[in-house]
Chains A and B, each alone.
Chain A
Amino acid sequence: MMSRRKWIAGVPAAGSLLLSACKDSLPPAYGTLFDLSNSLTFSAHRALLRNQPLVREFARDRITKNFPAINETNPKNDRYQQLLAGGFAEWRLPIAGLVSQPAELSLEALKQLPSRTQVTQHNCEQGWSAIAEWTGVTLKHILEDAGMLPQARYVVFHTVDGWWDSLDMFDALHPQTLLAYGMNGGALPVAHGAPVRLRVERQLGYKSLKYLSRIDVTDRLDDVEDGTGAVGAAYGYSWYAGI
């Protein structure tokens, strides 16, 4: 018979076995106890979402007026203001890293690609939520066009105002993950991240970066910026924001 002590000793052993078995599919560790609970949340969500369901999409008449614009609403840096003055004709979005055909996409080039329009609810981690219509190209399409290599595991996003974040392929390739250039039928306004922002519908708002400036495809996050996978880590925000 297994003694109680043996059984208790087996718990961490089994735990570490389990962790090492699925370490490849866990969010980046921040080195705190919360890594455990956040990994548990992440794994539970991945199990629940294994069939890649879509979030609800609404009819256009559900679009809310005065969709809130928070954090940066008009990047002050000169380069951005120049691009804005030129109607973003000079704006380019480099796609680099683990792709066979690195590219620099213009806004016009993006608009030529097959588009997707979705009316979804934006869920801010502060507690509010609002509905808007987003038009853009699926990130999946962009990654496939760029010839993403088989060893690619993450997509890292950088923005004009110095933010950065990342997604793993599970969310990057989701059909509702967009590079959006349109909002509510018009061009994406400056306050909402013009010319192109990210939409990650199954996570909280802070994952949907505004003002995209560069996309890197990679197989590891520990050598990107400070190694935490997202700028939010420095402010105490978890990398995975599905709840």
Chain B
Amino acid sequence: MHHPLLVRATHWINFLSFVALAVSGFAILMAHPRFYWGESGYFDTPAAFELPLRVNLDQTGWGRDLHFMAAWIAVINGLIYLGWGLSSRHFRFSEYKSLQRFTYLCVIFGLLPVTMLTGVTMSPAITAAYPVLFTIFGGRQSARTVHFFAADLLVLFLLIHVILTIREGLVNSMIAGMVETK
């Protein structure tokens, strides 16, 4: 198996930006670990559910800065990978087992776009330009709740992906580029 440098580089950048997104997302969440459904939600409205976290208002500043920096890196990195992959016919899903293929398709065409779109639905600026986002997700607070679950599933995917990669002994192929094929 052979992984070109561009695949390895974009993959590790992707990994690091996802870790940064998860950590900073958690930092942002600590300011208000309550979730709602619909348009509005605040201290006096009933929460759909609440996480047993101690409220911490002091991690939001860097959390938000890091979250959006990592999001930009992930998007730009993803576009580079996608552009290269399409032009060089890199994507060959037929090589994967059916469960693996199903999972990758769910992540690429389901979780990633949903996470990105629910993320920008929380932006008062972007939704001024595209109010249809509120229609799609049923309100700002619904979008925030969906964002949380979609992000959780992405983290779960990442964990399983890393564990399987280690178990299959494929980590070297993502560092050095080459492993002996079985």
Contact = CB atoms under 8 A, between A and B. Distances in A.
Interface residues on B, range: 35 or more
A31 to B, nearest CB: 13
A48 B126 contact: yes
B140 A127 contact: no
Nearest to B131: A56
Nearest to A41: B68
Contacts of B42: 64, 67-68, 124, 128-130
A64 B39 CA distance: 10
6 shortest A-B CB distances, which residue pairs?
Answer: A236-B61, A242-B125, A127-B32, A37-B69, A243-B123, A128-B42
Nearest to B66: A34
A202 B73 CA distance: 24
18 contacts: A38-B68, A40-B72, A49-B128, A56-B131, A62-B39, A64-B40, A67-B42, A124-B32, A126-B60, A127-B32, A128-B32, A202-B124, A202-B128, A232-B61, A238-B65, A243-B68, A243-B120, A243-B125
Interface of B: 28-29, 31-32, 34, 39-45, 57, 60-62, 64-66, 68-69, 72-73, 120, 122-131, 134, 140-141, 144
B68 A242 contact: no
**Helix, strand, loop or mixed for chain B's interface?**
helix
A235 to B, nearest CB: 6
A49 B72 contact: no
A159 interface: no
